[in-house]
Amino acid sequence: MALVVTAPLAGAVMPLADVPDPVFAEALVGPGVAIRPDDEAHVAVAPVAGRLVKLKPHAFVVVDGEGRAVLVHLGIDTVKLSGDGFTVIASEGQEVHAGDPVVRWDPLGVAQRGLSPFCPVVALDATSDAIANPASGHIAVGDALFTWA
């Protein structure tokens, strides 16, 4: 059954290849897209329903009932901030619905610190042909971002 992955935050959709990090740009962890977040996109939400299996201030992974894992990474190299500027709202291991708040952050603050606020949304360990119907242009929170077939 296809999984619709929704936008965890509002912004402009861009190809992963445009992300300034080779791990994401070369889809080494899986295919997906990235979002250049709106300056006021302060809360990242779950892109699918499932369990939060990994939750860090700068990134989280939700696994759906069929074992498909979706990674949301808030900015590039933001692990270097050691959680500064991020507030975890949810709990690791928690069951979430698509749209449930997970992390509060400040994309403009990330950019002002010299880091990229681009947010990869990745179908972890999927094949390159596993995703379809990628969104383009500006997207709102909860809009369909791509379909994982």
Structure tokens at 124: 């972890």
Q: Is 97 a catalytic residue?
A: no
Catalytic residue chosen out of the listed positions 42, 58, 73, 138: 73
Structure tokens at 121: 């949304």
Q: Are 122 and 77 in contact (CB under 8 A)?
A: no
Q: Which residues pair with 128 in a beta bridge?
A: none
For the chain, report the end-to-end CA distance as a whole number of angstroms. Answer: 7
The amino acid at residue 67 is: G
CA distance 37 to 92: 24
Burial 98-137 (b: 16+ CB within 10 A, else e): beeebbebbbebbeebebbbbbbbbbeebeeebbeebbee
- Residues annotated as part of the active site: 73
